[in-house]
């Protein structure tokens, strides 16, 4: 699997300052010494500010030893780094050793080109030397398949199973984001461009370069992002300045989706007394939209029916009476069973999991359930079908 476009330039070192500014520190929970190392995927369209965000993280005083996997590095100037060579059993002479850079704040840097999995395997040989992994994808990458690889990966060998997917963060360019979504040409028959896929597949959105656009445009792009992905909180940032607790250690694949304020949309239910027709805009014309359905406490039969419904929707891409080109890119949800147990639904493409939330994580989780689907062909018939299942 590749994380990189073809780029024949040899990687150079990333710029880092040798003294970490005292005023640049994040209030992160102390790093966990858990067996599995959390990983965050950072995606975003070309030039949105992914590298800027990573450079910031690499120079901030956060107390984490973060391993960063990047496709390209910046300048070599002023770096205070130790080079660490790691040789593998297959390469005892070390001729093809991977090079890592240990930065001033304890972060590790690792450059990869087309050898995504191999680089991660080598990185995992240094397990114990870092607490967290950040993976920057290229601007044209669809985070879905990459997230799938790191999620539900217990069966993998070679260190991949020692990684736990924490979340997917998308950096959106506030200046060009709307234009990119309009002009981004799809690469497959689903006709969904990469910039839209990145937003659809993310758990957190950073609306970056917000210093460069007027508030009206900022509101417009925020609204569009919410239409595509209502389950992801949106943070407006300048040069990736954000408290890292919003992007690191969020357990997006384990905890219920956060409550995201809904301004122009709302969670629809059977009680709604209005049409659920989607407002016309470029993105619905391309067929990408989202739908949210709320539900009460579910009994055993409802839970079973919901499981079957999700399986058919994700695996067979069809729901009786629904549009023929149904394609769900991402689904999330949380609901409560009659036994009082909270369940979390997570789905990336055809993979999904419904897990029970441990009592320790259930504090404050409302009994009202919510399911969010993001994808193509999510018309009113899909909503009605899901509401029917949830109604019993
Ligand atoms: N004014 C302003 N400029 C920014 C901001 N964030 C990034 N930039 C600039 O935008 C340009 C692109 O930023 P990068 O961080 O390289 O973007 P990227 O997403 O890594 O780009 P690719 O790797 O090409 O996809 C750089 O010149 C940054 O300095 C911001 O919030 N405001």
Q: Which domains does the chain have, with CATH numbers?
A: 37-246 (3.40.50.300), 288-391 (3.30.1220.10)
Ligand 1 within 6 A of 236 CB?
Answer: no
SS3 (DSSP) at 254? coil
Measured in Å, residue 173 CA sits from the centre of ligand 1 at 8
Residue nearest atom 11 in ligand 1 by C-alpha distance:
47
Q: How far is the CA of 45 from the CAs of 49, 227, 274, in angstroms?
A: 9, 18, 36
Total length of the chain: 392
Measured in Å, residue 53 CA sits from the centre of ligand 1 at 8
Ligand 1 within 6 A of 211 CB?
Answer: yes
Give residue for tokens 């102390």.
Answer: 30
SS3 (DSSP) at 366? coil
Give the residue, out of 5, 15, 41, 47, with the most ligand 1 atoms within 8 A of its beta carbon, to mutate for a pocket test.
47
**Mind listing the pLDDT tens digit of every residue in the chain (392 residues)?**
333 433 333 333 333 323 333 445 566 676 665 678 999 999 998 889 998 898 888 888 778 888 887 654 433 323 334 443 333 344 444 344 445 566 665 666 665 544 456 667 777 877 777 888 888 887 777 888 888 888 877 766 667 788 899 999 999 999 999 888 877 766 666 677 888 889 999 999 999 999 999 999 999 999 999 988 989 999 999 999 999 999 999 999 888 887 765 544 433 334 434 444 444 343 454 567 888 899 999 999 999 999 999 999 999 988 877 766 788 988 999 999 998 899 999 998 888 999 998 877 777 777 789 999 988 888 888 999 999 999 87
The span from the CA of 245 to the CA of 362, in Å, is: 20
Backbone angles phi, psi at 283, to 5 degrees: -75, -40
Give residue for tokens 């680089």.
Answer: 119
Q: Which helix (H) or strand (E) holds 111?
A: strand 108-111
Ligand 1 within 6 A of 44 CB?
Answer: yes
C-alpha dihedral, 345 to 346 to 349 to 352, nearest 10°: -60
Using an 8 Å Cβ cutoff, are 382 and 373 in contact?
Answer: yes
pTM for the predicted model, two decimal places:
0.76
Q: What is the ipTM score, two decimals?
A: 0.98
Structure tokens at 312: 């058919």
Measured in Å, residue 47 CA sits from the centre of ligand 1 at 5
């Amino acid at each position: 699997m590749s994380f990189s476009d073809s780029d024949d330039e040899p990687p150079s070192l990333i710029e880092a300052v040798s003294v970490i500014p005292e005023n640049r520190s994040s209030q992160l929970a102390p790093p966990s010494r858990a067996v599995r190392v959390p990983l965050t995927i950072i995606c975003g369209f070309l030039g949105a500010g992914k590298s800027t965000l990573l450079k910031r993280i690499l120079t901030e005083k956060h107390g984490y030893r973060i391993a960063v996997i990047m496709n390209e590095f910046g300048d070599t100037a002023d770096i205070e780094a130790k080079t660490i060579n790691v040789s593998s059993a297959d390469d005892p002479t070390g001729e093809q050793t991977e090079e890592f850079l240990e930065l001033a704040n304890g972060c590790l840097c690792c450059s990869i080109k087309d050898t995504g999995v191999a680089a991660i395997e080598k990185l995992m040989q240094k397990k114990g030397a870092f607490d967290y992994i950040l993976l920057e994808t290229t601007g044209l990458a669809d985070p879905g398949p990459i997230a799938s690889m790191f999620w539900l990966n217990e069966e993998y060998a070679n260190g991949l199973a020692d990684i736990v997917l924490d979340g997917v963060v998308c950096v959106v360019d506030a200046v060009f984001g709307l234009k990119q979504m309009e002009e981004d040409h799809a690469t497959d028959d689903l006709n969904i461009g990469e910039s839209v896929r990145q937003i659809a597949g993310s758990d957190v959105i950073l609306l970056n370069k917000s210093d460069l656009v007027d508030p009206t445009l900022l509101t417009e792009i925020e609204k569009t992002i919410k239409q595509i992905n209502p389950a992801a909180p949106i943070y407006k940032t300048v040069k990736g300045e954000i408290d890292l607790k919003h992007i690191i250690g969020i357990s997006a694949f384990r905890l219920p989706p956060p409550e995201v304020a809904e301004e122009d949309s709302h969670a629809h239910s059977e009680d709604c007394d209005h049409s659920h027709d989607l407002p016309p805009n470029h993105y619905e014309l391309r067929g990408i939209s989202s739908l949210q359905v709320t539900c009460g406490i579910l009994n055993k039969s409802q839970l079973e029916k919901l499981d079957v419904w999700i399986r058919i929707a994700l695996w067979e891409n069809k729901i009786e009476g629904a549009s023929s080109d149904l394609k769900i890119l991402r689904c999330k949800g949380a609901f409560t069973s009659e036994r009082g147990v909270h369940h979390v639904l997570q789905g990336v493409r055809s993979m999904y999991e419904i897990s029970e939330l441990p009592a320790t994580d259930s504090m404050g989780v409302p009994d009202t359930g919510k399911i969010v689907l993001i994808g193509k062909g999510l018309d009113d018939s899909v909503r009605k079908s899901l509401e029917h299942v949830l109604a019993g």
